[in-house]
């Protein structure tokens, strides 16, 4: 990709593995019911294949309460720091645009990522969430970057790829976690590049 100045990353299921967080939520939600983990997970996958937020839709389907998120179960993907470091050393400016609870920058610092990241926009602090274009526009404004000079890197077609494409940003879809079940349904949902793991983006950007 030519003339790229800024790379904006999603956090959940992009830099951070949330698998156990979701599994913990499911176990809490089905506790005391006759719904098995396998039944819930099967339904979650079926919704993910419709490009929906599988866990939330499955909770609605089974009429279960959304249980608390266990941040302690979050862990960086093994290649996350290596990827950020490699891109930083190449000269890219790195930012984050994410739907996250408060304290995102502190968690990124704890994981050792903030030495590579110049800008963090989290939905909790911004009061606006993806896929609303406003959070992308704020990021571009603060970065003093034109959309065509920026790349959005994320796992969600609905939250990351489509809104960034609409604004004229370049896009890289990382098919990790439940993104493996999703399929672009229109041109605006089609990323410029699709990779199966975070480290694969280095083949595109380096």
**All domains of the chain in start order, with CATH:** 6-17+74-205 (3.40.50.1000), 19-71 (no CATH)
Contact between residue 164 and residue 197 where contact means Cβ atoms under 8 Å apart: no
* Model confidence band, residue 183 (pLDDT cutoffs 50, 70, 90): very high
pTM of the model: 0.95
Report whether the peptide linkage leading into residue 65 is cis, meaning its omega lies within 30 degrees of zero: no
* Model confidence band, residue 153 (pLDDT cutoffs 50, 70, 90): very high
Instruction: Give yes or no for residue 121 having a pLDDT over 90.
Output: yes
* Model confidence band, residue 175 (pLDDT cutoffs 50, 70, 90): very high
Mean pLDDT for the stretch of residues 178-186: 93
What pLDDT shows up at residue 150? 98
Task: State CA 72 to chain mean position distance.
Answer: 18
- The per-residue b/e assignment along 152-170, b for 16 or more CB within 10 angstroms, e otherwise, is bbbbbbebbbbbbbeeebb
What pLDDT shows up at residue 104? 94
Mean pLDDT for the stretch of residues 114-125: 97
Instruction: Give yes or no for residue 51 having a pLDDT over 90.
Output: no
Rounded to the nearest integer, the mean pLDDT of the chain is 96
CA distance 154 to 173: 5
What pLDDT shows up at residue 7? 98
What pLDDT shows up at residue 169? 98
Mean pLDDT for the stretch of residues 38-61: 94
Instruction: Give yes or no for residue 162 having a pLDDT over 90.
Output: yes
What pLDDT shows up at residue 139? 98
* Model confidence band, residue 163 (pLDDT cutoffs 50, 70, 90): very high
What pLDDT shows up at residue 2? 86
What pLDDT shows up at residue 57? 96
Contact between residue 176 and residue 13 where contact means Cβ atoms under 8 Å apart: yes
Q: Where are the alpha helices (DSSP H) in the chain?
A: 19-30, 37-48, 54-61, 80-90, 104-110, 123-126, 133-143, 162-167, 202-205
């Amino acid at each position: 990709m030519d003339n790229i100045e800024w790379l904006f990353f999603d956090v959940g299921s992009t830099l951070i593995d949330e698998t156990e967080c979701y599994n913990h939520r499911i176990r809490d939600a089905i506790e005391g019911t006759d719904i098995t983990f396998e039944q819930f997970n099967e339904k979650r996958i079926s919704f993910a294949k419709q490009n929906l937020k599988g866990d939330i839709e499955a909770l609605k389907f089974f009429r279960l309460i959304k249980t608390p998120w266990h941040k302690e179960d979050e862990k960086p993907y093994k290649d996350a720091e290596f990827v950020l470091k490699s891109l930083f050393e190449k000269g890219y400016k790195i930012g984050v645009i994410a739907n996250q609870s408060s304290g995102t920058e502190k968690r990124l610092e704890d994981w050792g990522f903030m030495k590579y990241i110049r800008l963090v926009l989290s939905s909790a602090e911004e009061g606006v969430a993806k896929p609303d274009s406003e959070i992308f526009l704020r990021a571009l404004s603060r970065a003093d970057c034109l959309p065509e000079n920026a790349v959005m890197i994320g796992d969600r077609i609905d939250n990351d790829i489509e809104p960034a494409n609409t604004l004229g940003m370049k896009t890289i879809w990382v098919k990790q976690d439940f993104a493996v079940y999703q399929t672009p349904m229109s041109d605006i949902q089609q990323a410029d590049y699709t990779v199966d793991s975070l480290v694969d983006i280095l083949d595109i950007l380096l």
